[in-house]
Amino acid sequence: MELRSGRRLSSQSMRGAPRLPRPRHCPDSGGEDGISALPDDILLQILVRLRCARAAALTSSLSRRWLGLWRHLFELSFREIPLDAIDAALQQVACPALSRLEIQIPIEHRIDDAARVSALLQAAAQFAPADLVFDVWGDCKDREIPIEIPCFQRAASIKLSIANLYLTLPAGRVEFPVLEKLCLARCRLDDMNMVELISRRCPHLRVLEFRLKAILGSTHFSVLFSAPMVEDLSWSCLFHHHNIGISEIWCVRSLDIRTEESAYVLALQIAFMHEDFFLDGDMFQRIGPLPEFSVLEVHLGSYGHVFGAIMLDLLGTCSTIRRLMVNMQSSPRTQACPPDCLCDESPNWRSQTIPLMSLQEIKIKGFNGTDHEVDFLKLLFRCATLMKRMTVRISSKLFPGDIGYKEMCNIFEANPSVQCSVYRRSESY
């Protein structure tokens, strides 16, 4: 489609957008109006760039020329709007096939009727969006009422975030024929529905993302599906209501699995248990069935406690990794560990060795130079005999004149075959 400016507008961007009358004069003022004289294509492009359906609708007050023009947009974003207002707006949309539809209802407007969420999903499907973002919060007494996901025949990308409600697949063997990217956040799908959706209903899936809050028993922790076409995987699980133990005194706060350059990455958020909480199961037993990882990222909320033993056990479980990143997190409550603390009940980790023959690159952040951190450095060099690169970002509390800093440098000098680099906290790698 050729515009007056000589630019070409793609037919895909205007799919479903009808041509409207183009008055030359502003009917409100009677004078020449340059904006009103623009072609419909340009006016619709202006409204699309607002990235907000509500803002686009408000332009109707500018003049009769703009009145109702938003109804013909091929991209619609409804953000921070209550359900009733979205229902009313969708009934006015004139574009039969949208390139993008975003519906985001904030948590303060939680929906207490599962049937209304289902109806809103069905209404979204009627516009056959190529890109769908659907983010709502449920507040239903009966959270087991199933909400069927409609079939989106034209959708290449779908992001569903439906908190506190239970989703099921459309009846029959209905497929999502062109879906390439699927993101599920806070959604509840049982195991069979998950396998069916990923393995059989989405034949062209390339990107898969999970963002889930786990409610896990001590005996149930599994992710099992076959999706050979998926090239980019991201799976995130937050353990808000369970203290998933990784030893008797450490727990896992979150677990992430993703792919980077066709390799699997395991990221763990581990924290020291400051209070006497009940630990639900052992994470080491649950890591075993997961894929073989090439990269391990550990975010340690140690707060001054000795973590060498737990890291030795973890590295023994993930002994095939090629890269390791350890982020030693600190906080205002970080202090020296007391002599009788449980964290150092197994001090023999300082002399143990496990084979890490694949480990070639290590990055450490937040190094404070304490005795047990220096011993952890020695452990890494002792176990990763084929290491090629070690990068350490020291904390703002560590200085070149400190004993911990000097001992770190001595370790580096004793291993000349490894390329060692040191950065301050404010510097980037």
175 and 277 co-located in one domain = no
Contacts 24+ apart (CB under 8 A), 396-401: 396/424, 396/425, 396/426, 397/368, 398/367, 398/368, 398/369
Tell me the Cα Rg of the chain: 28
pLDDT at 257: 86
pLDDT per position as a tens digit, 32-91? 456 767 888 888 888 998 989 989 988 888 778 888 889 999 999 999 889 999 999 999
169 and 216 co-located in one domain = yes
In angstroms, the first-to-last Cα distance of the chain is 48
d(CA 224, CA 215): 17
Supply φ then ψ for residue 370, to 5 degrees.
-70, 165
pLDDT per position as a tens digit, 177-209? 999 999 988 887 776 777 788 888 898 998 988
Indicate the DSSP class of residue 72.
Answer: G
172 and 53 co-located in one domain = no
Query: What is the token pair recorded at 85?
Result: 């207002």
Checking if the pLDDT of 2 tops 80, the result is no
d(CA 207, CA 233): 6
| CB 292, CB 264: distance < 8 Å | yes
Checking if the pLDDT of 428 tops 70, the result is no
pLDDT at 17: 42
- Residue 354: CB partners within 8 Å, gap ≥ 6? 312, 315, 316, 319, 383
Tell which residue, 220, 101, 114, has the closest CA to residue 164: 114
How many folded domains does the chain comprise? Answer: 3
Half-sphere exposure of 46 (CA within 13 A, CB side): 12
d(CA 263, CA 122): 38
The answer to whether residue 149 is domain-embedded is: yes
394 and 413 co-located in one domain = yes
Tell which residue, 69, 126, 64, has the closest CA to residue 101: 126
Residue of 127 and 7 predicted with greater confidence: 127
Query: What is the token pair recorded at 372?
Result: 């047990």
168 and 259 co-located in one domain = no
The answer to whether residue 361 is domain-embedded is: yes
Per-residue confidence band for 103, with pLDDT thresholds at 50, 70 and 90:
very high
The answer to whether residue 178 is domain-embedded is: yes
d(CA 165, CA 110): 11
Tell which residue, 88, 49, 86, 93, has the closest CA to residue 69: 93
Q: Please, where are the H alpha helices in 197-304?
A: 283-287
pLDDT per position as a tens digit, 322-332? 999 999 987 65
Tell which residue, 289, 341, 296, has the closest CA to residue 322: 296
The answer to whether residue 14 is domain-embedded is: no
Residue of 296 and 238 predicted with greater confidence: 296
pLDDT at 62: 78
220 and 258 co-located in one domain = no
192 and 68 co-located in one domain = no
The answer to whether residue 21 is domain-embedded is: no
Checking if the pLDDT of 10 tops 70, the result is no
pLDDT at 252: 84
CATH classification at residue 208: 3.80.10
Task: Calculate the CA 249 to chain-centre distance.
Answer: 28
232 and 185 co-located in one domain = yes
d(CA 92, CA 86): 10
Beta bridge partners of 365: 327, 393
Checking if the pLDDT of 237 tops 50, the result is yes
Determine the 3-state secondary structure of 15 from DSSP: coil
The answer to whether residue 22 is domain-embedded is: no
pLDDT at 131: 97
376 and 280 co-located in one domain = yes
Amino acid in position 415: N
Half-sphere exposure of 428 (CA within 13 A, CB side): 0
The answer to whether residue 9 is domain-embedded is: no
Domain boundary among 73, 103, 136: 73
pLDDT per position as a tens digit, 349-400? 999 999 999 999 999 999 999 999 999 999 999 999 999 999 999 998 899 9
The whole-chain average pLDDT of the chain stands at: 81
222 and 251 co-located in one domain = no
Checking if the pLDDT of 5 tops 80, the result is no
Q: In terms of residues, how long is the chain?
A: 429
How many CB atoms sit inside 10 A of residue 336's CB?
9
Angle, helices 371-383 vs 308-317, to 10°: value is 20
pLDDT at 194: 77
Domain boundary among 238, 261, 295: 238
Domain boundary among 73, 102, 128: 73
234 and 255 co-located in one domain = no
217 and 321 co-located in one domain = no
Determine the 3-state secondary structure of 244 from DSSP: strand
pLDDT per position as a tens digit, 138-174? 877 666 788 899 999 999 999 999 888 888 888 888 8
The answer to whether residue 303 is domain-embedded is: yes
Beta bridge partners of 271: 251, 301
pTM assigned to the model: 0.69
Q: Domain range spanning residue 41?
A: 28-73
pLDDT at 65: 81
Determine the 3-state secondary structure of 73 from DSSP: coil
Query: What is the token pair recorded at 174?
Result: 């209905």
